Structure 1
Amino acid sequence: MHRVGLLITDRFQVLGLSTLSVFEFANQAIKEPFYTCTVYSERGGPVKSSYGVGVDSQPLDVEAPIDTWLVVGVLTPLELPATAGVISFLQNNALKARRVAGICTGAFVLAQAGLLSDRRATTHWAHAQNMKTLYPAIRVEEDRIFIIDDHVWTSAGLTAGLDMALGMVEKDLGTDIARNVAHRLVMHHRRSGGQTQHSEMLALAPRSDRLQSALEYARNNLNKPLTVEDLADAVHVSARQLSRLFRAETGKSPAKAIEGLRLENARLMIEQGRLSLDVIARESGFRDRRHMREVFIRGYGIPPQSLRTGKS
């Protein structure tokens, strides 16, 4: 049995509770109670969330050892720092656990406790600069979904906590179970920790279901040529109508939108560092490595090799 403790404080981000669903569905996927989850607070009893809804909790006088501590953040971490009692508890107990994690601005609580000093960490992009200023000993990487530094985990904002929890399930139970849980949670795909907090799909901001479907089709088939006609056939409209939709909703032509998706896919694969640039170019739909380099410089102002230190 793996014991998960979710630590909440007054006015905690209510979405932080959703991470427990990942462990719940992991138990269902393996058909046994591998995880048991308990919500804790400094004194126990009802704790008011950011939305005002109260959640019952157990006090922090924990007798049984906790394997994983998840610390939930608040919407305004500078205005609502963790109490001395919570900080003292983490300093004395967190490192006894197999891992400790800060969900979103929960990273600020870990920082207060000194658990992130000289470590890589992330948090919600809107608070990353404050963390850099307040805690210069932390190597803040503000554009990451989640980061693992030894046994200390931190995630970006809100739904990134689900990705981090899935990462924990993958380490505990394997890739197939993590994929099964993501499917049960109706997550489009399981984002790895190396992925950026900023999504090309969000930047394009498609409004209509038809255009969203066309972009999803493109993202799932980036290793193919992907003409406007291909996308139009996938969503059952004419190429001319689809081109008009792209212009009206994204301000871009289909070709430019697809190029952005290719760039994002290539960048993520490069940052993960597992494949050669030739393979990444092919899998992302570029003609070859040289073509990918040209588009990279045009889109990001840097060559793809610069994302790797000592790799090509």
Structure 2
Amino acid sequence: MSAGSVAVVVTEEIGVPSWDLYELSIPCTVFGKPQPDLADPWYDLRLCGDGTGKPRPDGDSDSDGARVGTGLTLSTQYGLDALAGADTVIVPSVPDACVEEGKPIPKGLITALRDAYDAGARIVSLCTGAFALAEAGLLDGRRATAHWMHTAQLAARYPKVQVDDSVLYVDDGNVLTSAGLTAGLDLCLHLVRRDLGAHVANQLARRMVVPAHRRGGQAQFIELSVPATDDEGLGPVLDWARAHLEHPLTVEDLAQRAAMSPRTFYRRLQAATGTTPLQWLLNQRLGRARVLLEATDLPVEKIGELSGLGTANNLRHHFLKQLGVSPSDYRQAFPRTV
């Protein structure tokens, strides 16, 4: 099996905010450090910029470089044209301004990504790097993900993309996307598993002191709280419902307390929160259960009762369906701190 070449995009135009250095460091750590006892040759890592990051011959410390964080620059030996010659191309992220403010992603990168894809490269994004892949049209008609805080923007801006905010990463053959931060490490280890086999990936994960494969998806990290609403008529009844989640509650009960017909209550709650009354109640109960799992040592049976989800089996059913993990696995992922 051949590891092949990996081109990581880092340019002056994209820039990587200081907190995004984490995503940039992941492929450099996984693919850039030789592991001759696991596979020889290992991957050939190439950092690819726009040409502004090449060091001066005199080694001047003031030489221009790609700015990757506050006070940091990174010199690269390859330009974006080298993406087309790589086996795997990784876009670690794009600037916050490209996501939050809709500022354009550099055209040079978009062209280089399309050329690399046409040349047969495997294209990978970590976190908000998915916006660059989507802009290049490489995610059209495909399932993809990004950090859950940005998936709504990704879906709104690129409606042809089938955005899934519940998973750690998506493998769609020659185009792969991951959620944010540590999920990028999950995807990179998955690439090693695909290329070099499970044994090599497992041994590499052990050396990095991380799980070779984490349970569940990023759904377990998403807040399930009710969205803000300007509907003053709903506020008191929703507050009351959150305080009485352990009791049986129906749409009729909530509508009566809000002095509305069930149909009117249903319509107004859906308009205010984007979800149905029953789904809203389920989200609140799951949120209560999550807090109890994180903050107490109560048995799962008691947590099911206090959250209004009933039996331990019912609690487990909803956790697996909504969050992709069991209550016990969730508790292990978010251990209580004293």
Pick the TM interval, shorter chain.
Answer: 0.5 to 0.7
Q: 2:85 aligns with which of 50, 65, 85?
A: 65
TM-score for both structures, normalised by structure 2? 0.59
Q: 1:108 aligns with which of 103, 108, 131?
A: 131
Give how far 1:298 is off.
Answer: 6.0
Alpha-carbon spacing, 1:85–1:146, altered in 2? closer, same or farther (3 Å): same
The answer on whether the counterparts of 1:156 and 1:197 sit within 8 Å (CA) in structure 2 is yes
- State the partner residue of 1:253: 297
Q: 1:157 aligns with which of 158, 177, 180?
A: 180
Deviations 1:61-108 (A, max 9, x none): 329821000012135132454211111111222242341101110000
Q: Secondary structure at the match of 1:30?
A: coil
- State the partner residue of 2:208: 185
- State the partner residue of 1:125: 148
Q: Distance in 1 between matches of 2:47 and 2:318?
A: 49
Q: Distance in 2 between matches of 1:26 and 1:178?
A: 14
Deviates more, 1:69-78 or 1:25-34: 25-34
5 Å-filtered alignment, 1:192-271, equals 195-199=216-220, 250-256=294-300
RMSD: 3.3
Aligned length: 227
Alpha-carbon spacing, 1:50–1:292, altered in 2? closer, same or farther (3 Å): same
Alpha-carbon spacing, 1:178–1:126, altered in 2? closer, same or farther (3 Å): same
Deviations 1:272-310 (A, max 9, x none): xxxxxxxxxxxxxxxxxxx875333565788x9xxxxxx
Give how far 1:248 is off.
Answer: 11
Deviations 1:10-68 (A, max 9, x none): 32221122222112456344252231101002234121114441111121232982100
The answer on whether the counterparts of 1:74 and 1:106 sit within 8 Å (CA) in structure 2 is yes
Alpha-carbon spacing, 1:167–1:31, altered in 2? closer, same or farther (3 Å): closer
Q: Distance in 1 between matches of 2:320 and 2:89?
A: 38
Q: Distance in 1 between matches of 2:218 and 2:212?
A: 13
Q: Secondary structure at the match of 2:212?
A: coil
**Percent of aligned pairs with the same amino acid:** 29
Q: Distance in 2 between matches of 1:85 and 1:144?
A: 30
Q: 2:35 matched to 1:27?
A: yes
Deviates more, 1:175-184 or 1:11-20: 11-20
Q: 2:108 matched to 1:90?
A: no
Q: Distance in 1 between matches of 2:83 and 2:89?
A: 14
Unaligned runs of 5+ in 2: 54-64, 225-290, 305-310, 325-338
Q: Secondary structure at the match of 1:70?
A: strand
Q: Aligned AA for 2:21?
A: V
Alpha-carbon spacing, 1:248–1:108, altered in 2? closer, same or farther (3 Å): closer
Q: Distance in 2 between matches of 1:183 and 1:258?
A: 36
Q: Distance in 1 between matches of 2:205 and 2:186?
A: 9
Alpha-carbon spacing, 1:300–1:169, altered in 2? closer, same or farther (3 Å): closer
- State the partner residue of 1:271: none
Deviates more, 1:145-154 or 1:293-302: 293-302
- State the partner residue of 1:53: 72
Q: Distance in 2 between matches of 1:23 and 1:112?
A: 26
Q: 2:160 aligns with which of 108, 118, 137?
A: 137
